[in-house]
A and B are shown apart, each in its own frame.
Chain A
């Protein structure tokens, strides 16, 4: 079989290699980009089309136990959006939390070829890996929840730094994760132990382990740095969603010093005002700090109006929010590791808070000076489905459209923001950075997010249209690892040879003797059954460790 492809006449956007809208040829062989191919290669004429690397979603919730719980919680949502079988693709169900097959296909129809699941408790990592294997087309990896792990917290509290680092490495290996995720560090345990108790401040000491969130964050940043993971700790800050939480966010970023740190869905962490009252925008303060500190990367977590589902390991937050929409919610048990809360939700333009959240997200995009460190995300499905990405792109690229959209939402919220004054419009090159090149660089994925020689041949080709939503909604061609999947807007293949991205830091085997007694005492599962064997994995690739102090050194 001829596996060579040549793309000619396309307008190439490859920010990593400083190619901004230049017409050049791209050659693909054996799933990689090469400098030339034989004359027998299949030729794709991309005249007048934009050629970009495949999209990389740095933060979404698409696999694992809580995603599945959300699917089970909302059968009515699936019924309204069936995903039909075609000659080349399998059937599934859509809605705000699509089934595994539909997730893969729908990401592909937006031109995305990599997506990282953002929160999996290690206890359920097997489930996440199984679902990832079942999600076609896109490469996956997941971040493992360790921020509320009781055992690790006790190691930090006792100052056993070396053992803590080894234990983190053991947990990453045991769960086959990509990096560490901290969700409301130090907040879940007190909530589980005492009725609705949460940490209110980063220097607060919880009642269960005498430890402040700052100490937890600091210890994890240190450990991840020393282990040299490709991506720094991925943090969902304390006080997320509360008015006046921007202080906590800035303090969290300060904790990192000049070490790298990724703030997840930063929009939810950028509220001014008093706790318990209506929020105000603090996008200026937040973007000012992010702009000035090259070690910080973040994804936005843009809120889009319409259906959404809160799906988070921040159980105290879901417990609080369940009061706003008294229908159904789930709080699942994750033993000594983390929390879990799920709540179906609707964002409505006429509601002050929702409109403000929408505006704050856009402000953060428009105020940030360095697109490499700000990543497009809706924190799918927390801020809205990933199917909203084309609309977000249009809002960023079209000032007039944004102004028109602002007229149809809560005016009190709009008047309290500076969104109307921001006339910046993203260019195609900048969009390419925030959806592809940037996240790949933040994740330390050297073979993704660019079109240089040796990169993975994950390529998307869009027709260049005036309506950017339309343009990004339907790529004409999508390629994954050199295989043409979508041709002329139609699936022509259901390519499932995909990989799980993971890390495998080295650790001292003797740490298992330290961890095991805790399992014997507190876990429902035997220590020997907990860690996932390498044999259990399907296709996977270990990303080499290379953490630096900022993404530019990679």
Chain B
């Protein structure tokens, strides 16, 4: 199935129905009649997208969709390939499957995700894989790869997921982290890992470490060698081969929480 955006929505379009779970069972004619919300008005999918059959066995979506929210929401299996920029809430509460974005993504990507994979080749916005306001935990599983830069609050309150960022991060990366792994290659904003309980944040670039973190040791974790090889094979992120055998400073924190989180900073 292939969807091509023909009309740019004036206000955000809530496209919760654009998932393989809903569309794979339908014929192109039926897909055009699927209901979406344009602001507070109900519209047909066909009002904004051309629907055609595709040779590939996946859901292809094409166009500049920075105003389209909730694509792949509650997705449990299958694959979505997005060619173009995508708006907020991509893969909201997804439990499985794979979403690939060849372009940039908006804010709040993958809130409450519990499984599956998201791969973004461009940049990401704020609050990626972050808990909603008020909730203590948000993402509880899955893998998110962003090859470009991201903004503030990456992985806020995250548990048991893996995030890889190829570029720079904004402030408050991994704030209130419960568990899981965040690996970043670029420059970091301030207050990385503030209030983290457990989990791991791995940074290749030097960063300002909060006073509530304490220094442990300099070592070379074996699992990182595997991790880097995985990144090299799966993504187009270009990184220095020296990281693979490199040594890392280990800091533990945050002392205002349980002090069981770790911050690994590349040394040489």
- Decide if A and B are genuine partners: yes
Interface, chain A (partner B; CB < 8 A): 73-77, 79, 327
- B247 CB, nearest partner CB in chain A, Å: 36
- Complex Cα distance, B134 from A73, in Å, reads 7
- Complex Cα distance, B134 from A77, in Å, reads 8
- Complex Cα distance, B55 from A433, in Å, reads 69
Query: Are A75 and B132 in contact, with the CB atoms below 8 A?
Result: yes
- Complex Cα distance, B133 from A77, in Å, reads 10
Interface, chain B (partner A; CB < 8 A): 132-136
> Could you say which of B132, B133, B135, B136 has the most chain A C-beta atoms within 10 Å of its C-beta?
B135
- Complex Cα distance, B135 from A74, in Å, reads 8
* Apart from A75-B134, A76-B132, A77-B134, 7 more pairs, CB < 8 Å: A73-B134, A74-B134, A75-B132, A76-B133, A76-B134, A76-B135, A79-B132
**What chain B residues lie within 8 Å of A76 (beta carbons)?**
132-135
- Complex Cα distance, B136 from A77, in Å, reads 11
- Complex Cα distance, B136 from A73, in Å, reads 12
- Nearest residue (CB) in A for B135 is A76
Query: Are B136 and A327 in contact, with the CB atoms below 8 A?
Result: yes
> Could you say which of B133, B134, B136 has the most chain A C-beta atoms within 10 Å of its C-beta?
B134
**What chain B residues lie within 8 Å of A327 (beta carbons)?**
136
- Complex Cα distance, B135 from A73, in Å, reads 10
**What chain A residues lie within 8 Å of B132 (beta carbons)?**
75-76, 79
Query: Are A75 and B133 in contact, with the CB atoms below 8 A?
Result: yes
- B114 CB, nearest partner CB in chain A, Å: 15
- Complex Cα distance, B132 from A81, in Å, reads 15
**What chain A residues lie within 8 Å of B134 (beta carbons)?**
73-77
- A419 CB, nearest partner CB in chain B, Å: 33
- B191 CB, nearest partner CB in chain A, Å: 19
- Complex Cα distance, B135 from A77, in Å, reads 8
- Complex Cα distance, B134 from A260, in Å, reads 43
**What chain A residues lie within 8 Å of B133 (beta carbons)?**
75-76
- Complex Cα distance, B136 from A260, in Å, reads 45
> Could you say which of A73, A76, A77 has the most chain B C-beta atoms within 10 Å of its C-beta?
A76
- Complex Cα distance, B115 from A440, in Å, reads 52
**What chain B residues lie within 8 Å of A77 (beta carbons)?**
134
- Complex Cα distance, B132 from A77, in Å, reads 11
- A326 CB, nearest partner CB in chain B, Å: 9
- A433 CB, nearest partner CB in chain B, Å: 40
- Nearest residue (CB) in A for B133 is A75
- Complex Cα distance, B132 from A76, in Å, reads 7
- A144 CB, nearest partner CB in chain B, Å: 30
- Complex Cα distance, B133 from A306, in Å, reads 21
- B109 CB, nearest partner CB in chain A, Å: 18
- Complex Cα distance, B133 from A75, in Å, reads 7
- Nearest residue (CB) in B for A74 is B134
- Complex Cα distance, B133 from A327, in Å, reads 13
- Complex Cα distance, B257 from A327, in Å, reads 11
**What chain A residues lie within 8 Å of B135 (beta carbons)?**
76
**What chain B residues lie within 8 Å of A79 (beta carbons)?**
132
- B13 CB, nearest partner CB in chain A, Å: 20
- Complex Cα distance, B9 from A508, in Å, reads 67
Those 9 A-B pairs whose CB atoms lie nearest each other, nearest first = A76-B135, A75-B134, A76-B134, A75-B133, A76-B132, A327-B136, A74-B134, A79-B132, A73-B134
**What chain A residues lie within 8 Å of B136 (beta carbons)?**
327
The 6 sampled A-B contact pairs (Cβ below 8 Å) are A74-B134, A75-B133, A76-B133, A76-B135, A77-B134, A79-B132
- B199 CB, nearest partner CB in chain A, Å: 18
- B155 CB, nearest partner CB in chain A, Å: 17
- Complex Cα distance, B135 from A76, in Å, reads 5
- Complex Cα distance, B136 from A76, in Å, reads 9
- Complex Cα distance, B136 from A426, in Å, reads 41
**What chain B residues lie within 8 Å of A73 (beta carbons)?**
134
- Complex Cα distance, B209 from A134, in Å, reads 50
- Complex Cα distance, B148 from A230, in Å, reads 69
- Nearest residue (CB) in A for B131 is A76
- B115 CB, nearest partner CB in chain A, Å: 19
**What chain B residues lie within 8 Å of A75 (beta carbons)?**
132-134
